Amino acid sequence: MATRGVRRTVWGVAGVVVAALVAAAAFVVTSDPRRDIDLGAWVEPGDSWARTAMPNARWATDELCGGDLPCRQAVRSDTLTMYRFADRDDAIAVARRFAGEAYLSGWIVVRFEPGALTRAQRSEFAAALDCLHVGTTEDGVEC
């Protein structure tokens, strides 16, 4: 009788451990650290490359976010505006709305000012953004 109780306890503990491992694996697979990128790092960047890419960067959340643009953060510069969204579907919809002047990276949409950056500079900025907090981009590029 005591052995049966021990077996039940062992199986119960094993079940809890397996459930915890499955939950942890699901979290790792479904979480994306880019979801929580703070655009504040772009307002006063510490490196000269970012300052050159986004001259005169400043917060624009109060001015741009709300109503039909449900962003959580916005940063505007002379060359581009970045928007961060809580919902990736909102980011996708806004990127489509901005069409040829926009770039989507996870939950962030970049809207380039016409003529402010060359095609190569836009690509370089997009690649840098895609590699924030990840080892591999959505397109499979190693960072």
Res 19: pLDDT? 45
Give the three-state DSSP class for 76: strand
Q: Which two tokens stand for residue 87?
A: 């919902």
Q: Using CA atoms in the order 112, 118, 124, 129, what is the torsion angle rounded to 10 degrees?
A: -10
Contacts of 84 (CB under 8 A, 6+ apart): 37, 38, 39, 71, 72, 73, 74, 107, 108
Burial of 34 (0-12, 13-18, 19+ CB in 10 A): buried
How far is the C-alpha of 107 from the C-alpha of 129, rounded, in Å? 11
For residues 34 and 19, is the Cβ–Cβ distance under 8 A? no
**pLDDT higher than threshold 70 for residue 119:** yes
pLDDT for position 44? 82
- Tens digits of per-residue pLDDT, 70-117? 999 999 999 999 999 999 999 999 999 998 899 999 999 999 999 999
Query: What DSSP designation does 113 have?
Result: P
- Taking CA atoms, 120 is separated from 29, 53, 96, 109, 125, in Å, by 33, 12, 21, 18, 9
Q: What is the pLDDT of residue 30?
A: 44
> What is the reported pLDDT for 16?
47
- Alpha-carbon distance of 61 to 23, in angstroms, equals 35
- Return the pLDDT at 51: 86
